Amino acid sequence: MAVSESLSDTTRQVLGRSVFIPAWLILIGCILLAPLVESLSPRLRYLPFALSLLIFGLPHGAVDHLTPARTVNTPVTVRSMLSVGGLYLSIGGVYLGWWFFAPTSAAIMFVFITLLHWGQGDLYAILSFLDADHLPTRFERALSIVTRGAMPMLIPLIAHPMSYQRVLIGFIELFSVNTISIGFLFSSPIRNVVTAVIIGLTIMTIAAGAWRVYTGASARPYLIDAGEIGLLWAFFIALPPIFAVGVYFCIWHSLRHIARLAIIDHPSRQALDSAHIRPAVWRFVRDAAPLTAAALLFFASLYILVPRQPNNIESLAAFYLVGIAALTAPHVVIVSWMDRMQAVW
């Protein structure tokens, strides 16, 4: 079962040079420089998230108002854009309200929403950009989503539990002083279970893909898939969580989604087919600029509304991620719909 888009060899080569290889090199570089990163001041560790306000991270979801129409190759209309706006107001509004009334459960839900979303982003990239055929069934694709999503969201929990706990507490403290109830999540028994689960998922994913290659699937996409899983394991073990997740958000997840958006935009797709990346980049910047600006206004409004306004670098980062959480919930609905339309499932 292949995804609906059939990319030209030229487009795949362009995406390899501009999306995959740079991300691999940056992550490898970070791993090699891990001792230096560990010695950075807290402000510098948060730099990737600060940069994500304008570079890839926040803007990657700012084309959602154009995405449904482009996905099914129909004209973008006021009605189609208003439908997306309504989705953001309803789902995003409900989830944001959840933070005000039950921040602990909202924070835990954010972890699982992000795990799903980042996994689904990687799955599409494997199937479409790499033209992989070692994930033919829904079960194998679901396994890939959970395994890939667990890399950035759960490996830091087992490798850097205290740092992970501080981040979650930072979320909750914006809305409540009661953070005691999450302590059990970082106990040794829970971390041991999570470790066993992630190792089991990894082994199952690698073994299932190897079996598919043994029975005739293409080896190259599988080897890239397996290699990326190994790279992500090493990256999230070696680096401080807030730095590692910030780099991943910008350079890995967001960049792959931007490439996906270029494929469904006809002029951008034509440019990539001709090995010209600049027109596609320019169109993305143009399309994302209005709602990126609107998102910044949303953050300004949220800053006024949160019960305990952030006053240091850690609470500012927590505040930013709560805002990202509210924007992620409707974004996941859009991307899940894209998956359905593009025959990922």
Distance CA(277)–CA(298), nearest Å, equals: 31
Question: How is residue 77 annotated by DSSP?
Answer: -
65 is in an annotated binding site: no
276 is in an annotated binding site: no
Helix (H), strand (E), coil (C) string for the chain: CCCCCCCCHHHHHHHHHHHHHHHHHHHHHHHHCHHHHHCCCHHHHCHHHHHCCCCCCHHHHCCCCCHHHHHCCCCCCHHHHHHHHHHHHHHHHHHHHHHHHCHHHHHHHHHHHHHHHHHHHHHHHHHHHCCCCCCCCHHHHHHHHHHHHHHHHHHHHHHCHHHHHHHHHHHHHCCCCCCHHHHHHHCHHHHHHHHHHHHHHHHHHHHHHHHHHHCCCCHHHHHHHHHHHHHHHHHHHHCCHHHHHHHHHHHHHHHHHHHHHHHHCHHHHHHHHCCCCHHHHHHHHHHHHHHHHHHHHHHHHHHHHCCCCCCCHHHHHHHHHHHHHHHHHHHHHHHHHHHHHCCCC
Burial class (CB in 10 A: 0-12, 13-18, 19+), 29: exposed
Segment holding 111, helix H or strand E: helix 103-124
| One-letter amino acid for residue 54 of the chain | L
Annotated binding site for Fe cation: 60, 117, 253, 257
Annotated binding site: 60, 117, 253, 257
